[in-house]
């Protein structure tokens, strides 16, 4: 897997970056805005997530400022992200929790983040890695699919994939893994008909489950 990661890192600058990587870069890796952007991204495409996050952060960049917005204001601002009404409530709940229990700061550890209602392991790991630069493995559908497609793991769920990767993957690759594989998955190793003809790691890839490719 280390060889695969090295090859992907060489090619990654040629691909379109993820919305969350863009948010991290533009906000100087602010944990709060990374957390909120990640919540917006759940079950939403990058082309919708990025602009919605930008609109929301133009109105509020801290938990306190976010709570000064009404639920309706947040809903209108983040629309059309998936489940925008539910996400508006979750965002307000998270901001309230951050102020009440963490002094307005985002906790920098997995355990603390997972106590926030609406924050799962994927979001928590992403904040830990992108926002704090600490080792963590964020597994979304791309990381789960590609890790299995490569033949590096044999798992049924993202949670199983995270545990398997924690056991097998050298710790030095943990922080970069999610953004690298998500970018790879969006640009080359797509769910249906991956672009194997131009894939930089086609030789070591076992192509598990691939029945059609380009």
Active-site residue identified among 46, 87, 122, 179: 122
C-alpha 175/C-alpha 137 separation (Å) is 7
Q: Report angle CA 131, 33, 44 to the nearest 5 degrees.
A: 105
Q: Which two tokens stand for residue 83?
A: 């489940």
CA–CA distance, 187 with 78 (Å, rounded to integer): 25
Q: Is 122 annotated as catalytic? A: yes
In 3D, which of 177, 207, 179, 175 has the Cα closest to residue 194? 207
Residue 27, judged by CB atoms within 10 A of its CB (0-12, 13-18, 19+), counts as middle
Q: 107-136 b/e with 16+ CB inside 10 Å = b?
A: beeeebbeebeebebbbbbbbbbbbbeeeb
Report CA torsion sign: 160, 143, 38, 7: positive
Is the distance from CB of 52 to CB of 87 less than 8 angstroms? no
| Residue 140 annotated as catalytic | yes
- Given a contact cutoff of 8 angstroms between Cβ atoms, the answer to whether 187 and 15 are in contact is yes
Active-site annotation holder among 109, 140, 168, 179: 140
Residues forming the active site:
122, 140
């Amino acid at each position: 897997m280390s060889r695969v990661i090295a090859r992907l890192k060489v090619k990654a600058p040629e691909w379109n970056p993820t919305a969350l990587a863009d948010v991290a870069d533009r906000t100087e890796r602010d944990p709060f805005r990374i957390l909120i952007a990640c919540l917006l991204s759940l079950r939403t495409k990058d082309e919708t997530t990025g602009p919605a996050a930008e609109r929301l952060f133009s109105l509020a960049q801290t938990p306190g400022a976010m709570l000064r917005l009404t639920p309706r204001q947040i809903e209108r601002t983040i629309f059309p992200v998936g489940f925008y009404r539910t996400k508006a409530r979750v965002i307000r709940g998270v901001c309230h929790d951050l102020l009440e229990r963490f002094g307005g700061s985002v906790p920098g550890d997995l355990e603390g983040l997972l106590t926030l209602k609406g924050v799962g392991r994927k979001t928590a790991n992403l904040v830990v890695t992108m926002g704090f630069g600490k080792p963590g493995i964020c597994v979304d559908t791309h990381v789960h699919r590609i890790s299995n497609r490569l033949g590096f793991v044999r798992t049924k769920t993202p949670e199983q994939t995270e545990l398997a990767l924690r056991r097998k993957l050298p710790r030095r690759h943990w922080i970069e893994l999610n953004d690298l594989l998500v970018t790879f998955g969006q640009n080359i190793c797509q769910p249906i008909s991956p672009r194997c003809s131009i894939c930089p790691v086609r030789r070591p890839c076992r192509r598990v489950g691939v029945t059609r490719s380009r």
